Amino acid sequence: MLRLTSDDARMGAASVAARLLGLGLGAGDRIALAPDQEPDMLRAQEQQRALIVTMWGALSIGVIPVMVNPDLTQRERDYILSDSGPGLILDTTDDLSALTEPVSERPPLPVFPLGRPMHYSSGTTGQPKGVWSGVLTEDLAAGLWGTEISMWGCTEADVSLVHGPLSHSGPLRFALYTLLAGGDVLLPGWFDARLHAAAIAEHRPTTAFVVPSHMQRLLELPEGLAPSPYRMLVHAGASCPAVIKQAIHDWAGAEHVWEFYGSTEGQFTTMPGTEWAERPGSVGRARADREIRIIDGVIWCAAPDYGYFEYWGEPVKTSAAWQFFDDRRWFTVGDLGRLDDQGYLYIDGRREDLIISGGMNVYPAEIEAEILAFDGVTDVAVFGVDDEQWGQRVCAAIVGDVDHDRLKQWLRQDIAGYKRPKEIYAVNELPRTASGKVQRLRVAALLGLE
């Protein structure tokens, strides 16, 4: 497994900065990091190294990397490349690695990268949207990166094990937090449960960012896992079934497990594992540099200046995402939720996932939370299917050894009739994005219901 040290990454980043400047690229320009996934593990590890180092070097001179998911179809990829208008496209591992090779004269790097990469949202409501934060001053960059490093307690003693693809913001950000703090990053090439289990036992990483499906696969290994080495195990990206959450706590210790709620656009809350049992279903309270407000059921977040973003080339969507309340700028991504009297946030659903059945609004996340509480259910997706009578009928796909009739009877206790699934389908697994989010809009098609 490749181990990237902070010193090696910093030297490589300075070389990247020098080469990009030599190509005439500067602050505000974009470069696309768009290599295909390498089938060879060692090559995949080198690709991960080059992606991180190139991102750091580019951002150090205000050149914004556009991260392109290798799982995209050619049409989806072409759209992002056309929309973002990069001045340079790096679409092979060799191209990325060559950019990181040492040069004789390297510019000094700022303490923190002058921005963050541009990622494209999933596009469930239309074409994908690029989340653009622009070029930051050094003071704002210190706020962006320094706040995160401080919040997660990253130090030069940390060793972080990468689980997810670096084309996604979570794995990429947590790797860079560690390197900026002076720590090391372990690069496996791709996620493999047995490979990661071996790395946990041999290298004893201190931090990791995961999605629940990573931990589920690790905890289901028949040979088991070595004792947890983690001082901090952070998960996000998808709802975590209670049975998996408890298993993670049993293995790593609740005091070492954290959850956060966020999106490509920005971060909202954090939740320490020690508070989870007292407030099941909550995603925690607003981060120290944020404030949460619910307006007409929609979650809004006040963010500092370094948290501002735009949708690339989409001024109308940008205007809709940001509003001024009490002379402060707040943003929303359309999620629906509620706050309890102590400020803990509960997610009720995403607006684009709204099901309208018989004229009544049904939010999938609410129903999924109830189904996940039923013994034997390990994963669930609630979705709508077009129906001549109801407009849409509510359906559920579940993973787990469950008697469907008993589940339906149990749901009658606490769920109104219009919210209860009309049909329940058993599946072996649910379609997810590379970052671990259930793709509800794909479930009906996979079941042949469209």
Tens of pLDDT, residues 335-360: 889 999 999 999 887 666 778 786 67
Q: What is the pLDDT of residue 123?
A: 43
Condensed to tens digits (0 to 9), the pLDDT of residues 64-106 reads 999 998 888 787 789 999 999 999 999 999 999 999 999 999 9
Question: Is 90 exceeded by the pLDDT of residue 168?
Answer: no
Q: Give dist(CA 364, CA 354) in Å, integer.
A: 7
The alpha-helical segments, DSSP class H, found in 343-395 are 364-372
Which domains can be identified in the chain, with CATH numbers? 2-339 (3.40.50.12780), 354-446 (3.30.300.30)
Q: What is the pLDDT of residue 122?
A: 53
* Closest-CA residue to 301 (of 312, 288, 292): 292
Q: Side chain identity at 386, as an amino acid letter?
A: D
Q: For all residues of the chain together, what is the average pLDDT? A: 92
Catalogue the E-assigned strands of 14-56: 30-33
Condensed to tens digits (0 to 9), the pLDDT of residues 12-25 reads 999 999 999 999 99
Residues 6+ apart with CB under 8 A from 188: 1, 41, 45, 161, 162, 195, 196, 199
- Contact between 206 and 160 (Cβ < 8 Å): yes
Coil, strand or helix at 199: helix
Q: What is the pLDDT of residue 30?
A: 98
